[in-house]
Structure 1
Amino acid sequence: MNVQSMTGFARCEGTNGRFRWVWELRSVNGKGLDFRLRLPPGFEAMESQIKARASKHLSRGNIQATLTVSVAESRMEAVLNRDALEAVLKLREELGGLVDSAPLKLDTVLSIRGLVDIREAGEDPAALEIRDQDILEGLETALSDLVSMRIHEGNALALVLRQHLETIARLTTVIESDPSRSPEEIARRLAAQVGSLLDGNGGLERERLYAEVALLATKADLREEVDRLKAHVGAVEELLQKGGPVGRRLDFLAQEFNRESNTICSKSNSSAVTAAGIELKVVIDQFREQVQNLE
């Protein structure tokens, strides 16, 4: 399974009868799935179906979906108000002996306000159902295209992340193999620091001396930090290989990377280790910045 970026765009259009519809989908970064929908008047009933289909394709990102529907041609129809016509005919009958009783002509009927209404012809319900189904199928196509673009962007991001990961692994090896981390060098520095403690305070209690030595030994040893960095590198490689919506877990690992690099810099008593630790922090920041774009 591929990793996905949260950035993408898709457009799909089609026609059904005299209707033309267009879907436009835009996707940007988001903490969760925020699906914002714009529908033309009269299409509100489709909202629940649209959101259900979107949630099957997407799990994270701010999505703006816009549906535009236009009518290619207008169809007008004349609608007779039969109640009004019956009232007119009844009045004509009542006035038959007082006015001309010649038969009503069409132009006379059309001139009577409210008797005939000229309006746009309504659509057959079955035809409207077919149109709406076409629009939903167009949405499926647009969602698939959006996912394809997000996957394409995600593959490019994964390549960048792997490059950063290689740098993190290389710097971890530099820190691990630095001469200052050899047992002999650590023992030498501890002996010098213990000697300094004894020279500075001849009355130092044995328990206090043990505590100080233990503290110095802990600060001198970067084994745990190096091991955790290696474990995090392996976890990131596994997530990138697995694919899918892994952005949140990668962001957590980026924070753990940063935690270990901070500890290494604070413990370091070697200029080479400090330099590697600082470079490590820079790469980790770049890594995390790219991770923010992944689903």
Structure 2
Amino acid sequence: MIQSMTGYAAKTRDLEFGSLSLELKSVNSRFLDVHFRVCDEARLSEPALREAIAARVGRGKVECRVYFMAAAKSARQLQLSDELLAQLAALDRQVRRELPEARPLAVGEVLRWPGILGDETLDPEALAAAVLETARAALDDFCASRAREGDKLKAVILDKVARMRTLVADVAPHIPAAQAAFQDRLKQRLVDAIGSADDERIRQEVVVFAARIDVAEELARLATHLDEVERVLKQGGAVGKRLDFLMQELNREANTLGSKSVVSEVSQTAMDLKLLIEQMREQVQNLE
């Protein structure tokens, strides 16, 4: 399976003590880079979340967001904590003795104080377990979305490979005759300049130039690299870095092909190959 580095998933769970929401999204990155935006109640779960994500994701910039909203108590359950209220009142008096200009606690501030309406203590371990369970379910959807995107990118790359093979196959049969004609023209120019067709210097120059414009090796290496691209895609897994290297090698051969070209057909083919390679590189950079 080939995975894209672009993915998204979200899960929401209703718990006995509140509502939990978890969101995962990712974009391209050279390495695995995980960022968290976790509510205070779920901070305990962050190390387990990081471990769970690293076990399923190899590369990409991943953002994990966790939200928790505590369940509201019914009117029947609302009851002030006399002990905590007395402590707040004592602290309020002490602060205003030391700081006479300080304003007293407002009713709204008192009612929002943790635990003032009775036993509202949230079990952090229970919430952490719920977060991890929700994250595993979200990771299933997240990886599935990355795999679907990876399949699409694979099809695009293979299509570019097929088009490159067609370009090479179309131009290859015409190269020997085109190069031979160019060598004949070169020889005639040298004869016109030197004045003798039997001059050893002419033969040497033609032989040397023929070696310089021979592109058979570049075409063979292009075919080999294209075979490797197909093999890597068929093998699957984390292929992005390997394919990125192969794009560099393909581009190197296309550049050399263009620089050695002495006929317009080869020059145009080299340009078309470079365009396809760049299009493949853009897709490869999205793969894990």
Return the TM-score normalized by structure 1: 0.77
C-alpha contact (below 8 Å) 1:12/1:141 kept by paired residues: yes
1:269 maps to 2:262: yes
- Deviation string 1:172-223 (CA, Å, 9 cap, x unpaired) is 1123222x324xx5445435424533543579xx997676445412232111
Give the counterpart of 1:157 among 129, 149, 153.
Answer: 153
Measured at CA, do residues 122 and 284 of structure 1 come closer, stay the same or move farther in structure 2, by a change above 3 Å? same
Partner of 2:253: 260
Q: How does 1:14-93 map to 2 (within 5 A)?
A: 14-74=13-73, 76=79, 78-80=81-83
Q: Which runs of 5+ in 1 are unaligned?
A: 85-116
Measured at CA, do residues 57 and 210 of structure 1 come closer, stay the same or move farther in structure 2, by a change above 3 Å? farther
Over alpha carbons, which structure has the higher Rg? 1
Q: What SS is found at the alignment partner of 1:38?
A: strand
- Deviation string 1:17-71 (CA, Å, 9 cap, x unpaired) is 1221000111111221111100111332322211111111111111111000001
Runs of 4+ displaced beyond 4 Å = 206-211
Note the aligned Cα RMSD (angstroms): 2.6
C-alpha contact (below 8 Å) 1:9/1:149 kept by paired residues: yes
- Deviation string 1:87-135 (CA, Å, 9 cap, x unpaired) is xxxxxxxxxxxxxxxxxxxxxxxxxxxxxx934524374xx42332121
Letter in 2 for 1:165: V
Measured at CA, do residues 31 and 210 of structure 1 come closer, stay the same or move farther in structure 2, by a change above 3 Å? farther
Measured at CA, do residues 121 and 76 of structure 1 come closer, stay the same or move farther in structure 2, by a change above 3 Å? farther
Partner of 1:190: 183
C-alpha contact (below 8 Å) 1:222/1:264 kept by paired residues: yes
Give the counterpart of 2:217 among 214, 224, 234.
Answer: 224
Letter in 2 for 1:37: F
Give the counterpart of 2:134 among 107, 118, 138.
Answer: 138
Letter in 2 for 1:259: R
Measured at CA, do residues 240 and 260 of structure 1 come closer, stay the same or move farther in structure 2, by a change above 3 Å? same
| % identical equivalent positions | 32
Count of residue pairs brought into register by the alignment: 254
- Deviation string 1:130-157 (CA, Å, 9 cap, x unpaired) is 3321210100111111100000011011
Separation (CA, whole Å) in 1 of partners of 2:27 and 2:61: 5
Q: What SS is found at the alignment partner of 1:218?
A: helix
Return the TM-score normalized by structure 2: 0.79
C-alpha contact (below 8 Å) 1:29/1:293 kept by paired residues: yes
Separation (CA, whole Å) in 2 of partners of 1:12 and 1:144: 11
Q: Which runs of 5+ in 2 are unaligned?
A: 88-114
